[in-house]
Structure 1
Amino acid sequence: MPFIEVKDIVKMYHDPKRGKNLLALDHVDLTVEKNEFLCLLGPSGCGKSTLLNMIAGFEKQTSGTILMNDKEVTGPGADRGMVFQQPTLMPWLPVWENVSFHLKLKGVGKKERREKAQEFIDMVGLKGFENHYPYELSGGMNQRVGIARALLLNPSVILMDEPFAALDAQTKMDMQEELVRIWQFHKVTVIFVTHSVEEALILGTKVAVMTHRPGKIRELLSIHLPRPRDVTSHLFNEYKRDILGYIREESKLAKAT
């Protein structure tokens, strides 16, 4: 039985300015296995983030069902951790308090919160920055804080919405390597939204290529590449050529409609 099942999902938005409905997702079916690293890839506006938000429970589908562990997703839950494009940290709190904030909401004492936070601060490579504030950190370091916060929830799934899109090339490569290391160590399922074919191939065990709007799953590819991934290898570039071909076809179809 799949760990996550997306079954016949349709999402319709009402566009008041044009006075009609907009079909964003059109009968999407997708399965995700436990401990898989699935990358959702597709053109802008195809519904990648919308689908991710539905799995998170932040957004409701018009029709269809999303199941996790054979239970319907009806809202947010601690079994799903979310990492956004911007880390949405609280600027008035130091790193360790940002990481452990949800424990404070549960009434957990300061000493226990700090000990628990430290475990995940160390895991994401931020030892020594526990008392720094977000404005004192780089963009990549703030994303590490966001990842540590999501991991501390001990979720079954981490959902990531283009978390490295705003980072420079070197920091992005460092964060990709760090994320793979954490995923391998923590044995968690990851669903990762990206626009980058190369990023999807560096990270994913599977890549779901979506169509132009209304979004559907066009291709679901298993990526059989050794880690660390060599972006110059023949097989890596074969995958890349195939996926770019699908995306170019979708771009032509989008322009023709």
Structure 2
Amino acid sequence: MADIHIEGISKVFRDAGRGRDVNVLDDINLSFASNDFVCLLGPSGCGKSTLLNIVAGFEKPSRGRVTVEGRLVTAPGADRGVVFQQPTLMPWLTVAENIGFHLRLKGIARAVRRDRAQAYIDMVGLNGFESHYPAELSGGMNQRVGIARALIMNPRVILMDEPFAALDAQTKSEMQEELVAIWQRHRGTIVFVTHSVDEALVLGTRIVVMTRRPGRIREVIDLDLDRPRDVTSPAFNEMKRHVLALIKEVASQPAAA
């Protein structure tokens, strides 16, 4: 659905309190094809979330540019859905109302909103919870609402910033399986920030390993592993050893001051 091109992206933040500039990203060049599931992996502070925010249009690069299907990214847009670490749902709205909220803003009729929301409620496995409020749901269920809310606008790209980081191990595993199933049905492009090597290997078609700050690209790895991924297979563990060695290498390098 979407080709993403990240060309010469650098990002410098001004640290006013210390009177200096902080170089967060340096000359990032990447291209993602339609239906890629790309995992950004690297040490804390390497600029993964900043890069995601630049693709989303929330941040502007200091240098370089991002295009999605040939269109320059200058601001957030309906072609890019975003799922945050916390789903940031509106607590006074039900599941169905949260999912359909953007349609409401566009003036779409209530009956149409309800029908379209129901399709995505079915997709993320929340049947029977349409009238529940966020406080009545588990963390994993709220994250499903966040994913459905991003999908309902039919974006070409889904950008996900560690959406499962706060979940327990069992729920995280279930959500990873569900996300892969949704991606296979939706046929969109996903860019997913994670700190977990296992998560990247379970989810991705490609892994982008970044260096310590300023974030650069250490290696882009194409994953040709059967799905569902068998975490005990020799191929999976061979790839895991390779990625862990890269992470160990970049983690041993000092970050820029």
Q: Structure 1 length normalisation: TM-score? A: 0.98
Which residue is 1:119 aligned to? Answer: 119
* Distance in structure 1 (CA, Å) of the matches to 2:103 and 2:65: 31
* Distance in structure 1 (CA, Å) of the matches to 2:70 and 2:126: 36
* Distance in structure 2 (CA, Å) of the matches to 1:219 and 1:244: 12
1:255 offset after TM fit, Å? Answer: 6.6
Which residue is 2:136 aligned to? Answer: 136
Q: Does the residue aligned with 2:145 lie in a helix, a strand or coil?
A: helix
* Distance in structure 2 (CA, Å) of the matches to 1:112 and 1:203: 33
Tell me, yes or no, if the aligned pair for 2:91 and 2:133 is still in contact at 8 Å: yes
- Within a 5 Å distance, the mapping from 1:17-56 to structure 2 comes to 17-56=17-56
1:108 offset after TM fit, Å? Answer: 1.1
The root-mean-square deviation of aligned C-alpha atoms, in Å, is 1.1
* Distance in structure 2 (CA, Å) of the matches to 1:106 and 1:73: 22
* Distance in structure 2 (CA, Å) of the matches to 1:154 and 1:256: 39
Q: Structure 2 length normalisation: TM-score? A: 0.98
* Distance in structure 2 (CA, Å) of the matches to 1:239 and 1:41: 14
Which residue is 1:60 aligned to? Answer: 60
Q: Which amino acid aligns with 1:70?
A: G
The runs of 5 or more residues in structure 2 that have no matched partner are none
- Within a 5 Å distance, the mapping from 1:242-257 to structure 2 comes to 242-254=242-254
Summarize deviations over 1:160-209 as a string: whole Å, max 9, x none. 00000000000000000000000001101000000000000000000000
Q: Which amino acid aligns with 2:224?
A: H
Summarize deviations over 1:17-64 as a string: whole Å, max 9, x none. 221100000011111000110000000000000000000001100010
Tell me, yes or no, if the aligned pair for 2:52 and 2:159 is still in contact at 8 Å: yes
1:110 offset after TM fit, Å? Answer: 1.2
1:89 offset after TM fit, Å? Answer: 0.2
Tell me, yes or no, if the aligned pair for 2:81 and 2:150 is still in contact at 8 Å: yes
1:237–1:95: structure 2 CA closer, same or farther, 3 Å change rule? same
Q: Which amino acid aligns with 1:39?
A: C
Structure 1 consecutive aligned stretches of length 4 or more whose deviation exceeds 6 Å: none
Summarize deviations over 1:127-181 as a string: whole Å, max 9, x none. 0000000000000000000000001010000000000000000000000000000
Summarize deviations over 1:103-135 as a string: whole Å, max 9, x none. 110111111111110000000000000000000
Which residue is 2:85 aligned to? Answer: 85
Q: Does the residue aligned with 2:167 lie in a helix, a strand or coil?
A: coil
Q: Which amino acid aligns with 2:110?
A: K
1:70 offset after TM fit, Å? Answer: 1.2
Same amino acid, percent of matched pairs: 62
- Within a 5 Å distance, the mapping from 1:176-191 to structure 2 comes to 176-191=176-191
Which residue is 1:166 aligned to? Answer: 166
Q: Does the residue aligned with 2:254 lie in a helix, a strand or coil?
A: helix
Q: Does the residue aligned with 2:40 lie in a helix, a strand or coil?
A: strand
The runs of 5 or more residues in structure 1 that have no matched partner are none
* Distance in structure 2 (CA, Å) of the matches to 1:17 and 1:77: 32
1:216 offset after TM fit, Å? Answer: 0.7
Q: Does the residue aligned with 1:22 lie in a helix, a strand or coil?
A: strand
* Distance in structure 2 (CA, Å) of the matches to 1:182 and 1:252: 37
Q: Which amino acid aligns with 1:145?
A: V
Q: Does the residue aligned with 2:252 lie in a helix, a strand or coil?
A: helix
* Distance in structure 2 (CA, Å) of the matches to 1:225 and 1:126: 29
- Within a 5 Å distance, the mapping from 1:176-255 to structure 2 comes to 176-254=176-254
Aligned length: 256
Which residue is 1:157 aligned to? Answer: 157
Does the alignment pair 1:108 with 2:108?
yes
1:232–1:67: structure 2 CA closer, same or farther, 3 Å change rule? same
Farther off after superposition, 15-24 or 123-132:
15-24
